[in-house]
Amino acid sequence: MGAVPERIALSSGERPLKIVRRRSARRFILRLDDEDDAVILTLPRYASSAAALRFLDDNRGWIEQRLDELPPRIVFADGVEIPILGVPHVIRHRAESRGHGAAWLEPGTLCVAGDPRHLARRVTDFLRERARHELGLRARAMAMSIGRRVLRISVRDTRTRWGSCAHDGALCFSWRLILAPAAVVDYVVAHEIAHLKHMNHGARFWRAVEDLAPGSGAQRSWLRRNRARLLRFG
Ligand SMILES: [Zn+2]
């Protein structure tokens, strides 16, 4: 297709522009990628480049407003505050680890040693490991309390689901849950563990969730309200 640029200039600066041509699209569809702030434009198969450019131009105000509404991106860096199980911690670079390893917790502080150029990656590695540990503790305890077993726990950077559960007891969670309050983590784990007994979202399933982690309604709404914010860390 001709000359649709790969970036779009906005009042807040340039953003990546991704064009998706879809046979089934009946009209132009605009959305934002909350991971990298890219503008994604879906086009009907036979739309011209000129029409695409005109559409982008007509909707510039909408794009700018939506970008404004995104929660701020929180890059992991020295001095930046992040929540761990909902408790604020400031990231601090330390010259020496003194046997603590690459990253460790002190009250209110996430300490990271080594080359400052690797700090962001070390923070992510630390949080992933912490998530696996905390989620694992909860999952095993809850599973035992209902007479089920957890086969394996893995953490990933999932974007559409906080957790998932296979029939064989393999659980998968988003590492970003470690940024949420403990009660929210309890709810997500309870949800997946309850699926070891009820592979559906029926009334008995929700009663099992509520038994494992009371107050699930409030935690679910916290996750809905804070999803975009959690995806903007790192
Ligand atoms: Zn479910």
177-208 pLDDT, tens digit each: 999 999 999 999 999 999 999 999 999 999 99
CA 15 to ligand 1 centroid distance, Å: 35
Cα–Cα distance for residue pair 179/17, rounded to 1 Å: 30
The CA-CA-CA angle for residues 140, 144, 145, to 5°, reads 120
Domains, the chain, with CATH or none: 7-69 (no CATH), 120-230 (3.30.2010.10)
CA 216 to ligand 1 centroid distance, Å: 12
Q: What is the pTM of this model?
A: 0.81
Reported confidence tier of residue 47, pLDDT bands at 50, 70, 90: confident
pLDDT for the residue numbered 111: 97
Q: Which amino acid is at 234?
A: G
The half-sphere exposure of 169 on its side-chain side, counting CA atoms within 13 A, is 12
Q: Which two tokens stand for residue 46?
A: 């036979």
CA 106 to ligand 1 centroid distance, Å: 35
Cα–Cα distance for residue pair 213/158, rounded to 1 Å: 23
The predicted-structure confidence for 93-137, as pLDDT tens digits, reads as follows 998 888 888 999 999 999 999 999 999 999 999 999 999 999 999
CA 18 to ligand 1 centroid distance, Å: 32
Q: Which two tokens stand for residue 106?
A: 């002190």
Q: Strand locations in 179-224, DSSP E?
A: none
* Better-scored residue on pLDDT, 127 or 44: 127
Cβ neighbour number for residue 109 with a 10 Å cutoff: 14
Is the Cβ–Cβ distance between 169 and 196 less than 8 Å? yes
User: Which element (helix H / strand E) includes 217?
Assistant: helix 216-230
CA 205 to ligand 1 centroid distance, Å: 9
**Mean pLDDT in residue range 151-160:** 91
Task: Give the CA dihedral 123, 126, 132, 135, nearest 10 degrees.
Answer: -70
pLDDT for the residue numbered 191: 97
Which range of 21-30, 50-59, 64-73, 200-209 scores highest in mean pLDDT? It is: 200-209
Residue 121 to residues 46, 50, 78, 115, 192, Cα–Cα distance (Å) = 43, 42, 12, 11, 28
Q: Which two tokens stand for residue 16?
A: 């990546």
Checking if the pLDDT of 35 tops 80, the result is no
Reported confidence tier of residue 2, pLDDT bands at 50, 70, 90: low
CA 83 to ligand 1 centroid distance, Å: 25
CA 107 to ligand 1 centroid distance, Å: 35
pLDDT for the residue numbered 204: 96
